[in-house]
A and B are shown apart, each in its own frame.
Chain A
């Protein structure tokens, strides 16, 4: 057993990085992530963690330092939010293109303008095409556990891709709740040291990294191999979840998890902190009212579980995607991804609720109301206005 302690989501994530024995942490402060950086600095300062803390002048440099450090074989860790993440954008491609298994915590924050420190998942979802694995977690414990899991997933020889652990600013980052801090010895058995062979900048073994490629050389093959690695990551994610459960007693389901989905006519599909409220709603409606409803908690957005969702939802009548993000001009980002997954199949009706943007409070009653309304739509032949903005004022 580890130690139980009251921790914020931010501190829980920092403890995860400490247990993973990260060696280099270049971080630039930005609310609501800054506590992670402060805790890492504290661990290093008081001797609890033997690592190099690199103060940088921007997020762009933070990731550049992580890339350089990881290329020398050092396990790197960084964290950011919103505008800071966008400032890193070009380097996200460098990290994944060089196949460097850097792990980063993305504390979701709304992108200005207008400026807000509250969450909108659009900042990290915007980065879904950069070749990073992305997991979305629902509480501080899952954040803690997934930082440890992330290194094992990312560093697996079948994967070798960077990975982001995403959670909502304030609503997870600043909420304090009980967390089991994993036992260091057990983490050491679970997570082997990073010993790269594919990219290692070592003067004794010269290697050329990040060369230019011409139109007739191997750019396409680089990209194709990244796609193959992302495909293989699916099985690695499942394996690591299984191994983690055996070592520590918590199973998260890998790509996704479900609640009461057996024979469910209506499914709520969501991610992040909304999943825990939605789970409570599903349990309530099943147990109290006998309503045929279930929950799909989407964990991985990259790799996106196309096949898994398509199979899981084949007999469902209505799928309601609840999400705290939007691609302006298209709809909820997860909803549009799900449309792709189910494309061409005679599957369920899809309804999309965009809610909670900028930290707008989402209560148990809100999700219950949406669930009940969606249940009433399960016998209709067509869904009117499938993309709905929940409780927008002034309409």
Chain B
């Protein structure tokens, strides 16, 4: 079983990202389970979403306590929580992190792989200016480049259920851009 924890802020689409990811996995034949952990919902507040993937039905419904993968949709969340506190020693983290800055190599000692994508800039290019950068689909695209379990094709197939109509084209592009702009920290 693979367990994934997604950290975001209310309005960034962490919950939708988790649902699209789970749906993509489901389309590939996995049993998938996803659920949010809410506080009092409001824009900007920290939100956590969880995904579990397995080859058979998942009986447990508790939170994830030692994730294989941690996704951080906004690096500023590190000022409020430590999203990497419980990552598995062989786990993988994917951070929204600016390409122009020195990579956070110090984080790598706690985990197996550390990856970044400059999702805020890419989101700005794709969606224009928004109050909070909408980084969810860009990061999902990047995740597909990092994680052998989920293909970009499955994410693209899962998108229309969540972002139909006019929004689809833009979000397909977002996933593609994320996929192409993943960086590995070494």
Please, how many angstroms separate the alpha-carbon atoms of A40 and B60 in the complex?
Answer: 29
- Can you spell out 13 A-B residue pairs with CB atoms less than 8 angstroms apart? A6-B32, A174-B35, A175-B33, A176-B19, A176-B22, A176-B23, A176-B32, A176-B33, A276-B59, A277-B59, A363-B60, A364-B60, A364-B62
Nearest-CB residue, chain A, relative to B23? A6
**Interface check A178, CB cutoff 8 A:** yes
Is B173's beta carbon under 8 Å from chain A? no
B61 at the interface (CB under 8 A from A): yes
Quick one: closest B residue to A366, CB to CB? B62
**Is B35 a contact of A276 with CB atoms below 8 Å?**
no
- The interface of chain B, by Cβ under 8 A from chain A, is 19, 22-23, 26, 31-36, 38, 58-63, 65
| Most B Cβ at <10 Å: residue of A174, A178, A364 | A178
Q: Is the CB of A6 within 8 A of B61?
A: no
Given A6-B19, A6-B26, answer yes or no on A177-B62 (Cβ-Cβ < 8 Å): no
> How many residues of A are counted as interface, with CB atoms below 8 angstroms from the partner's CB atoms?
19
Taken together as a complex, chains A and B put the C-alpha atoms of A178 and B23 apart, in Å, by 9
A363 touches B33 (CB 8 A): no
Q: Hey, which chain B residues are within 8 Å of A176, CB to CB? A: 19, 22-23, 32-35
Contacts of A117 in B (CB 8 A): 38
Contacts of A370 in B (CB 8 A): none
A163 to chain B, nearest CB (A): 24
Closest residue of A by beta carbon distance from B52: A177
B35 contacts A178, C-beta separation under 8 Å: no
Which residues of chain A have C-beta atoms less than 8 A from B60's C-beta?
276-277, 280, 363-364
Residue of A nearest to B37 (CB): A170
Annotate A146-179 by CB proximity to B: 1 below 8 A, 0 otherwise: 0000000000000000000000001110111110
Contact of A362 with B32 at beta-carbon distance under 8 Å, contacts A6-B23, A117-B38, A176-B19 already known: no
| A33 within 8 A of partner (CB) | no
Tell me, in angstroms, the Cα distance from A364 to B19 when the chains sit together.
24
CB distance from A8 to the nearest CB of B (A): 9
Closest 3 CB pairs of A and B: A280-B59, A363-B62, A276-B59
Does residue A21 face the partner (Cβ distance < 8 Å to B)? no
Q: Nearest B residue to A365 by beta-carbon distance?
A: B62
CA distance A178 to B59 in the complex (A): 13
Asked if A185 is at the interface (CB within 8 A of a chain B CB), the reply is no
Is A70 positioned at the interface, with any CB of B under 8 Å from its CB?
A: no
Q: B38 contacts A170, CB within 8 Å?
A: yes
Query: Are B19 and A361 neighbours in the complex by a CB distance under 8 Å?
Result: no
Q: How far is the CB of B49 from chain A (nearest CB, A)?
A: 10
A6-B22, A176-B19, A178-B26 are contacts. A170–B35 as well, Cβ < 8 Å?
yes
Contact of A277 among B23, B34, B38, B62 (CB under 8 A): B62
Which single residue of chain A is at the shortest CB-CB distance from B158? Answer: A6
Tell whether A10 is near chain B: CB-to-CB under 8 Å.
Answer: no
Q: Quick check: B31 and A175 within 8 Å, CB to CB?
A: no
In the complex, whether A234 has a CB less than 8 A from a CB of chain B is no
